[in-house]
Amino acid sequence: MLQATYHFPKGFLWGSATSSHQVEGSNANNNWSAWEAEAGRIRLGHMAGLASDWWGGRWKEDFDRAAETGQNAHRLSIEWSRIQPRQDMWDESAIDYYRQMLRGLHQRGLTPMVTLHHFTDPLWLTEMGAWENDATPALFEKYVAKIVDALKEFCRTWVTINEPNVYTVMGYLFGAFPPGKNDLKSCIPVLKNMIRGHAAAYRTIHALQSDASVGIALNYQSFKPSHSWLPWDHWLARFAHNNFNASFPNALATGKFRFAFQTINLPEARQTQDFFGLNYYTRQMAAVNLLRKKDLFIHLSHPKNTELSDTGHIANVPEGFYEAMKFSRGFGIPIYITENGIEDADDDLRPRYLIQHVHQMWRAVNFNWPIKGYFHWSLVDNFEWERGWTQRFGLWGLDLETQARQRRTSVDVYQAICHENGIESDMVWKYAPTIFNELFPS
């Protein structure tokens, strides 16, 4: 049997990613806790509840697990509604709790990456219209200044906003996230104000911490035409790419925000990204469907003859990941893979998905593309937004009744990758033999 290893550069970051509302639990003060309380909003009526009980202290054991299995980094988020429960109030005890968490990462040899906004807004901000309100960028900047000044001793890599494209499209176009709107026009002020908020936060962070590295985390969807022979499917795939994938990071590069046939000049946003945070999961096939007015006549589906996750939400398309990295490389800045993973409660597909996607990342690194780290989604099962607990993304499983963690085979796969700083042939043969010849052709 062929013996070989795909190695990554020395100092490469191998971590996992989490977000506050999804793992902390015990929070009734943000827009998602209110959303969960409304009937029919979350699949099967699920609620976050204790989530993974990090606010109860179980982050300690999960950080232990990450460190013990070879990870050297972790991406987490700060919950704005805990830091600023009211517009006129700062909760210093919450800030100190996050300080303990970041100190805990350092004590375990894990490099922190901190996200400052990951889908959730304080209720008081929601009552003001959230990101539709032109006052929100300045309010976000104040929150960022407060938390970065308090935690800069423990972190220098900051994600200002996670997936602004998903936050906007799911909340203001497709209505699956709060506030549940179906209005393309409302997307424009939300994205515009998120760009303004990021730009303000970028400058504030650099003023407080000269050696900071600041970026966003963008969800990249690989859009392809469903019918290669239909020109309007090609047009639709390009339209989806330009608006969903490209509009936000292009605005941070050029200061021009182009979305849905509009161009807005935002010069303050120009060159406000030190790194590109890339989230990639799957590919979508785009087709025009005149019966889907509510969805802007767009029908999205997965490519035919691809492996699907257990609820059919994600198709395993590793080459789409390479496409996403190629897009990111075009911005000429370092790249972090801030999320990549698959929901798989039985852990049957995840070992293959993980190895195949890391291999695509190695291809990119081998061409000297500036990819500096990989954060797997996720460390432990967590509350998956409108899909509740029906999706299990964790390397470790979670028993909701007992909070017990369940070690999945994927833990061993990722541990082998982290320890080797690459993909070794024996590891592939052991954990994913069906793809061995794909990665190591004889």
Residue 166 has a pLDDT of: 98
Provide the 8-state DSSP code for 302. P
- Give residue-wise pLDDT tens across range 82-113: 999 999 999 999 999 999 999 999 999 999 99
pLDDT tens, the chain, 442 aa long: 789 999 999 999 999 999 999 999 999 999 999 999 999 999 999 999 999 999 999 999 999 999 999 999 999 999 999 999 999 999 999 999 999 999 999 999 999 999 999 999 999 999 999 999 999 999 999 999 999 999 999 999 999 999 999 999 999 999 999 999 999 999 999 999 999 999 999 999 999 999 999 999 999 999 999 999 999 999 999 999 999 999 999 999 999 999 999 999 999 999 999 999 999 999 999 999 887 777 777 899 999 999 999 999 999 999 999 999 999 999 999 999 999 999 999 999 999 999 999 999 999 999 999 999 999 999 999 999 999 999 999 999 999 999 999 999 999 999 999 999 999 999 999 999 999 999 999 8
Domain that holds residue 96: 5-221+262-279+311-439
Confirm whether 391 is domain-assigned. yes
Give per-residue pLDDT as tens, 303-324.
Answer: 999 999 999 999 999 999 999 9
CATH of the domain at 427: 3.20.20.80
Residue 192 lies in a domain: yes
Is residue 240 in some structural domain? no
How far is Cα 118 from Cα 164, in angstroms, rounded to an integer? 9
Contacts of 325 (CB under 8 A, 6+ apart): 278, 280, 335, 337, 360, 361, 364, 369, 371
CB atoms within 10 A of CB 49: 12
- What span, in angstroms and rounded, lies between the C-alpha atoms of 167 and 247? 14
Strand partners, 145: none
Asked, for residue 249, whether it belongs to a domain, the answer is no
Cβ pair 63, 105 in contact under 8 A: yes
In a domain, 339, yes or no: yes
Burial of 99 (0-12, 13-18, 19+ CB in 10 A): middle
Which tokens in the block code for residue 65? 């697990």
- Give CA–CA dist 208/228, Å, rounded: 51
Q: Give me 314's structure tokens.
A: 């994600």
Q: Is residue 251 part of a domain?
A: no
Whole-number Å distance between alpha carbons of 74 and 381: 15
Is residue 79 situated within a structural domain? yes
Count each helix (H run) and each strand (E run) in the chain, helices first.
16, 15
Widest distance between CA atoms in the chain: 66
Report the predicted TM-score, pTM, of the whole model to 2 decimal places: 0.98
pLDDT at 291: 75
End-to-end CA distance of the chain: 8
Measured between alpha carbons, how far is 357 from 220 in angstroms, rounded to an integer?
14
Residue 280 and residue 421: Cα distance in Å, rounded? 21
State both tokens at 425.
């042939």
User: Which residues on neighbouring strands pair with residue 74, listed in sequence order?
Assistant: 16, 112
What would the DSSP string read from start to end of 316-379?
Answer: --HHHHHHHHHHHHTT-S-EEEEE-----TT-SSHHHHHHHHHHHHHHHHHTT--EEEEEEE-S
DSSP string, 31-98: HHHHHHTSTTSSGGG---TTTT-IIIIIHHHHHHHHHHTT--EEEEE--HHHH-SBTTB--HHHHHHH
Cβ contacts of 81 within 8 Å, gap of 6 or more: 27, 29, 30, 120, 121, 122, 123
Tally of domains within the chain: 1
Judged by DSSP in three states, 161 sits in: strand
In sequence order, what are the residues at sequence separation of 6 or more whose Cβ sits closer than 8 angstroms to the Cβ of residue 367?
Answer: none
Whether 186 maps to a domain, the answer reads: yes
Angle formed at CA 348 by CA 222 and CA 21, multiple of 5 degrees: 65
The rounded distance, in Å, linking the Cα atoms of 408 and 412 is 8
pLDDT value for 289: 84
Give the CA-trace dihedral at 430, 433, 437, 440, to 10 degrees: -20
